[in-house]
Structure 1
Amino acid sequence: MVTADVNLNVWFDVSPNQSQVLVVPYVKSARDVRLQYQLNVVNTGKSGSSSISQGGTLTVSHGQPKAVSSVQVTPQAGGTCEIDLTLHEGDREVGQYSFDCMARK
């Protein structure tokens, strides 16, 4: 059995606002596809650490960018901040993507 490639384009739209960063992951597909997503955020620094996990189902129409979710974080000076997005189609993982929140602070 041959499984067709989903052929995804994924990017993170970033909007810095003072000490916070709004991050919106987008998905665009070459075909109509229904995906399951898991979004994890880990933010650590001298003040401690925090983590956020979100998951759900996303329907992406051919050629139309779709926002997965939005996350607002406050990266801590000297710390680390990472957002990881994993996409599945059915039981098959079709992509893993990471974004360094500190890069846009």
Structure 2
Amino acid sequence: LTAPFAGRDNDTVGLAVGYVKVGNHAAGADADAGVSIGNLAYPVRSDETQIEATYIYQLTPWWQWQADLQYVRNVGAGAVSPNDPTSTQRIPNNWVVGLKTTITF
């Protein structure tokens, strides 16, 4: 959405939602991996959801700031934490915060 507020004609605001579903073959490979290491409680990947909000603030005609906030639920579709791949501990849900600046000459 451009010009989200009166007097802010060059600003932009955006919202996004994303969803990823893991296919049966990949989920089956996870189940097989659990059996092969003797861990029947080994997590099987399923899905991931992302929600994002961003705002681009036009400071001057040549300078922008962009703030970004993201939330990711079920990171890696529920993948096992790389810190201990033999456990059942999944990567936790996460927030991502970003700030970007653009200078145009």
Do they superpose with TM above 0.5? no
- Structure richer in helix, relative to its length: 2
TM-score category by the smaller chain? 0.3 to 0.5
- TM-score (norm. length: structure 1): 0.33
- Return the structure number with greater strand share: 1
Using CA pairs under 8 Å that are at least 6 residues apart, name the structure with larger relative contact order, 1 or 2: 1
